[in-house]
Amino acid sequence: MRSINVLFVLLVLLFLAGCGSTTDSAKTTVLEQTTAPTSVAAQTGDVRVIQMTVKNFAFEPSNIQLSKGDKVKLVMNVESGNHGIAIPGFNIEQSLPQGTTQTVEFTADQTGSFNFFCNVPCGPGHKEMIGSIIVS
């Protein structure tokens, strides 16, 4: 029993030493650690990071090929105009304000062809802002 008590005290001391001054800062640290490794995962093929440029009036690339099961991180750099992207097949809607970088993540868990389009009236080329995701 005594050695168990000593072990417990040591664990408590370790825990206290490892934590920040408040639980809030500890939580923040954990969150940062969980979001940061995605780029590492991308290199191993676990997450596919797709860089997209959004501008008046196009998504580039507008055709995206995926394999079923891919975890996808779509990183959209909005160069010009205020747009949005809707991918109904994956329940995604994201506004894309000019000058920002927006990210959506989803898993390509079904095969097929899935259209995406701009869902914010943005000007004369609005209806041309379309694309498709092919999952095979």
The residues that touch Cu ion, with contacts defined as CB under 5 A, are 83, 118, 120, 122, 126, 129
Which residues sit opposite 49 in a β-bridge?
73
Nearer to Cu ion, 104 or 120 (CB): 120
Nearer to Cu ion, 48 or 126 (CB): 126
Nearer to Cu ion, 57 or 90 (CB): 57
Q: How far is the CB of 78 from Cu ion (least distance, A)?
A: 11
| CA dihedral of 108, 110, 115, 117, whole degrees rounded to 10 | -40
Nearest Cα residue to 76 out of 63, 88, 87, 85: 85
CB 95 within 8 A of CB 84: yes
> What gap in Å lies between CA 20 and CA 90, rounded to an integer?
39
Q: How far is the CB of 112 from Cu ion (least distance, A)?
A: 24
Q: How far is the CB of 122 from Cu ion (least distance, A)?
A: 3
Residue 80, both tokens: 């010009």
The values of phi and psi at residue 118, to 5°, are -75, 130
Q: How far is the CB of 81 from Cu ion (least distance, A)?
A: 7
Q: How far is the CB of 54 from Cu ion (least distance, A)?
A: 10
DSSP annotation of 81: S
Nearer to Cu ion, 55 or 126 (CB): 126
Nearer to Cu ion, 47 or 129 (CB): 129
